[in-house]
Structure 1
Amino acid sequence: MPLLKEKETFKKMTLEEFDALPSDERNTYELVDHMVMMSPRPSLPHQRAQFKLLSTLDAFLSGHKCQAYGEIEVKMRDDIFIPDISVVCDPDQFNKNRYDGAPAIVVEILSPGTARIDLFTKLNKYQMAGVKEYWIVSLKGKLVTVHNFEKETVTEYTLEDVLNSETFEGLKIPLTKIFE
């Protein structure tokens, strides 16, 4: 059964309409190019890896101006994203609903239902919005791909490697801690 009838088109949604949507505890909603994207809650392995990365980033950033957050709404240009992890450095950019601006680091953990969006759409959107580093975590491949948009580099880290952030000097994460 087709989602749209002949000659029917998707209605573009404004930010105000998006903000008026009812909350849903089982799904997350993002606004990308004025279209609502829905994702189910992450799997247990996804949540575990997210917790380990978030804890590691939080410990590293302790005492710094920048802070790591899990699944906060981030407004970049006209889009609303909910990255698995965001490292933000300007607390004045928070409002009651979300962070308004580009995080220094964004981490997305691939899921079967969101991989295409994470690997293509979000990669481009994050780069255009001014994110410094975009980490794509593949649980299946036990691999983290780090896109450093400032230096225009892409580095792949495997299970045996230590992830090295170029945005935060001294941030080194042994991936065995994340994928164990």
Structure 2
Amino acid sequence: MTETAEGGKRMTILRAAEKVFAQDGYHGTTMRRIAAEADVKLSLVVYHFTSKLGLFVAIFEHRQYVNEQRLAQLHAIADLQADDAVEQIVRAFVDPVLALHHDPDDAWFAKLVLREAGDPSNQDRPVLKVLFDPMAREFIDALREALPGKPDGFYQWGYLFSVGALTQSASEDRVANLTDKTYLEQKHDLLRSYIIAALRHG
């Protein structure tokens, strides 16, 4: 197998794993199920990723560019004490993630993040702690500068509540259950407005 073909197979496995993990969760997923979704032999999955945990972490490492984009936008804010600083922080936080929602293949990763963030066993895996929490601390520090004087704990919980709102936006299934529309056109603006209002007035 050429290096290019090998890289293509690896990417096929990663994409298949995103979908299966997003659908079935970490504990409900097997390497055999991922191999079937990717239409490759189980031995090839093991060859590339060794273990289920290794494959799971590799998905998030491959998608780390999303968090890098978020931090790049955060660092580009010229004045964290400007009147619209909170709006700029929220856009840096949500927009690179919302961009995933436009492609059905990328949307599986957004749904996987939702699943992992809500899994009580996520502290057993080096994903949130290693790949998300360093970024989270930078956003928390930015909120502290943009919204000084809030009570102790506000910035940490405010960030996590914002994560909850953002991750819930990964799927339109629930809103479709509640109405006959998904309101896709309004979703992004409503999400930004909701998080901004919560941070400003919380």
TM-score class, shorter:
under 0.3
Q: Report the structure, 1 or 2, having the larger helix content.
A: 2
Work out which structure has the larger RCO, using CA pairs closer than 8 Å and 6 or more positions apart in sequence.
2
TM-score computed with the length of structure 2 as normaliser: 0.24
| Structure of higher CA gyration radius | 2
Q: Report the structure, 1 or 2, having the larger strand content.
A: 1
TM-score computed with the length of structure 1 as normaliser: 0.26
